[in-house]
Amino acid sequence: MISLLAKHPVLRNLFSGLFLFLAGSCSRIDHKQSALDPKGLVSQNQYDVFMLSVWITIFLFCTVGGCLLYVLWRYRAKTAEEAKEIPPQSHGNSMVETGLIIASSIILVILAVPTLQGVVLLNRVPDANDTESLEKLGLDRSQIDGAITVNVTGKRFFWIFEYPQFGIVTANELVFPATKAVRINLRTEDVIHSFWVPKLAGKMDLMPGQENFMWFIADQKKIMGDSDAATAMPAVHDGTMRSKVFAKQKFTDEFEPVGGLFYGQCAEFCGNSHAYMSFRALAQTDEDFDTWVKRFQNAQNPNLQTKSYDPKTSYNKNSFVSFADNKLGAGANREYRSVRKTSPGQSPQVAPGAWEKAHSDDYEKGKQLFSSLQCVQCHAVNRTGLGAKGPNLTLYGLRTSLAAGWMRNDEESLSKWLKNSNEIKFGNLMWNGEGVDDRHPLRNLQDDDEKVNQLIAYLLGQS
């Protein structure tokens, strides 16, 4: 116990200034996953009904508890003799009893009305043609008309986010436009999960064999606060979000969140590593969101993937081709970028001056390792890869978090993760899944810093 006290500053605080400390931490309600700090229409509604119920129950508790205290004080037996007295043996009073029943029914009605309204709100996106309700909710028609749809698939223990309107797939970080409604279709491929971003909306379960629906719409004003859009909602597509999050915010420091960064968590017990099944939702301005979608579409467009060098073609400046480079190993290819217009036949070998390496050697080697170490069997990069076993890693370098929102996505954590993910997330399927045993190359990376660094260069190079 004493060593615990010495080790934990929190406990020391507790003993030194209990009340001050408790009052201080209780007044904070803007924690990462706090439902007391709603930033969207649906969560605001849920918060309002909750606060109504809190006031009702505080009132009831004070009234009934007050009566109880009064009775206990007033009718306590003060002396041993009094304790032996026999008070009048009354058996009840039907007027009082009926009155109390009616009073409690009335109080329930006060809660029942907003409850029913809330049920409808969280189950249905308001009709774009219903101007009256839109006005009541403070929404603009365009916010509904421009709604995006995301198909969320839960897997043990990560999330797949598919945007059917745009034909793109990502994982663990849901990027969405801050001003538009977001329709969420929930599916699961294994057990029950539950999608919960407390600041945006309450939870909804992902039920096997059925598709559930929920929706949310963020409140841009609340996200922005006093700052401008660039500060509150840094762009994801060019890596600003990632660098801002990393620069401003220690992973541990919850009280300086970037406004547009929301934390979510699986809320239905789903197996060994259920606790690790978190995710993030990143709010974007409309333009940034569109740009992000475009980048993703390009990255996942099979027609836009880098092709092998064709000697019969002339390439414009900034064209990408794949061409042999023996330095990387026998038969290995690397990506080249043209620095000027080339004529047919001017391959990187023939005209080295016309081409430059698109990526570092480490990146290229990492790319090879990604295949040869069998990563590619479960992870899709630059393709939608629906049905892949693991999270989609397209544009992975833009992500803020690693391991389903559990760690900061930087070199250090990624290196730890690749070396022994089981130590970080015991029971994760990358380490323990079907067909992974001690012979699997993934389990033999502990002492191989070189390979790990190459993989990191490749993965974080996806930006």
Task: Considering only residues 238 through 257, tell me which ones interact with another protein, judged by CB under 8 A.
Answer: 250-254
Length of the chain: 463
Taking the C-alpha atoms of residue 325 and residue 357, their distance in angstroms, rounded to an integer, is: 10
Contacts of 235 (CB under 8 A, 6+ apart): 241, 284, 285, 288, 291, 292
Q: Does 72 bind another protein (CB under 8 A)?
A: yes
Residues 416-435: x where in contact with another protein by CB under 8 A, - otherwise, as a string: ----------xx--------
| CA 86, 88, 89, 93 torsion-angle sign | negative
Q: Which is nearer to another protein, 204 or 235 (CB)?
A: 204
Do the beta carbons of residue 454 and residue 362 sit within 8 Å? yes
Binding piece for another protein, criterion CB under 8 A, among 82-90, 128-136, 239-247, 368-376: 82-90
Total residues binding another protein (CB under 8 A): 108
Do the beta carbons of residue 21 and residue 14 sit within 8 Å? yes
Q: Does 64 bind another protein (CB under 8 A)?
A: yes
Considering only residues 258-317, where is the footprint of another protein by CB under 8 A?
263, 265-276, 278
Q: Which is nearer to another protein, 40 or 348 (CB)?
A: 40
Q: Does 347 bind another protein (CB under 8 A)?
A: no
Which of 27, 90, 129, 303 touches another protein (CB under 8 A)?
90
Taking the C-alpha atoms of residue 330 and residue 317, their distance in angstroms, rounded to an integer, is: 28
Considering only residues 366-395, where is the footprint of another protein by CB under 8 A?
none
Binding piece for another protein, criterion CB under 8 A, among 105-113, 238-246, 304-312, 354-362: 105-113
Locus of tokens 């043990």: 156
Binding piece for another protein, criterion CB under 8 A, among 67-75, 288-296, 362-370, 376-384: 67-75
Q: Which is nearer to another protein, 15 or 330 (CB)?
A: 15
Backbone angles phi and psi of 283, in degrees to 5: -85, 140
| Shortest Cβ 28–another protein spacing (Å) | 7
Q: Which is nearer to another protein, 180 or 280 (CB)?
A: 280
Q: Which is nearer to another protein, 121 or 430 (CB)?
A: 121
Q: Does 108 bind another protein (CB under 8 A)?
A: yes
Considering only residues 171-230, where is the footprint of another protein by CB under 8 A?
186, 190-192, 194, 196, 198, 201-205, 207-210, 212-213
Taking the C-alpha atoms of residue 324 and residue 290, their distance in angstroms, rounded to an integer, is: 36
Q: Does 61 bind another protein (CB under 8 A)?
A: yes
Q: Does 106 bind another protein (CB under 8 A)?
A: no
| Shortest Cβ 377–another protein spacing (Å) | 21
Which of 62, 111, 339, 386 touches another protein (CB under 8 A)?
111
User: Which residues lie across from 196 on neighbouring strands?
Assistant: 265
Taking the C-alpha atoms of residue 348 and residue 306, their distance in angstroms, rounded to an integer, is: 15
Backbone angles phi and psi of 106, in degrees to 5: -65, -45
Which string of b and e fits 147-156 if b means at least 16 CB within 10 Å?
A: bbebbbbbbb
| Shortest Cβ 186–another protein spacing (Å) | 8
Q: Which is nearer to another protein, 198 or 391 (CB)?
A: 198
Q: Does 409 bind another protein (CB under 8 A)?
A: no
| Shortest Cβ 242–another protein spacing (Å) | 17
Residues 26-45: x where in contact with another protein by CB under 8 A, - otherwise, as a string: x-xx-xxxxxx------x-x
CB atoms inside a 10 Å sphere around CB 262: 25
Which of 6, 12, 57, 221 touches another protein (CB under 8 A)?
57
Taking the C-alpha atoms of residue 69 and residue 73, their distance in angstroms, rounded to an integer, is: 6
| CA 227, 229, 231, 233 torsion-angle sign | positive
Region class of 227: left (phi > 0), else alpha (psi between -120 and 50), else beta: beta
Binding piece for another protein, criterion CB under 8 A, among 77-85, 226-234, 280-288, 449-457: 77-85
Binding piece for another protein, criterion CB under 8 A, among 71-79, 280-288, 319-327, 367-375: 71-79
CB atoms inside a 10 Å sphere around CB 98: 10
Q: Does 68 bind another protein (CB under 8 A)?
A: yes
Considering only residues 121-180, where is the footprint of another protein by CB under 8 A?
121-124, 156
Q: Does 412 bind another protein (CB under 8 A)?
A: no
In 3D space, the residue among 399, 166, 386 whose CA is nearest the CA of residue 290 turns out to be: 166
User: For the residues of 380-428, what is the DSSP string, one character each?
Assistant: -SSS--TT-SS---TTGGG-SEETTTTEE-SHHHHHHHHH-HHHHSTT-
Structure tokens at 412: 């250090």
Q: Does 437 bind another protein (CB under 8 A)?
A: no
In 3D space, the residue among 419, 408, 399, 405 whose CA is nearest the CA of residue 459 turns out to be: 399
Q: Does 67 bind another protein (CB under 8 A)?
A: yes
| Shortest Cβ 357–another protein spacing (Å) | 39
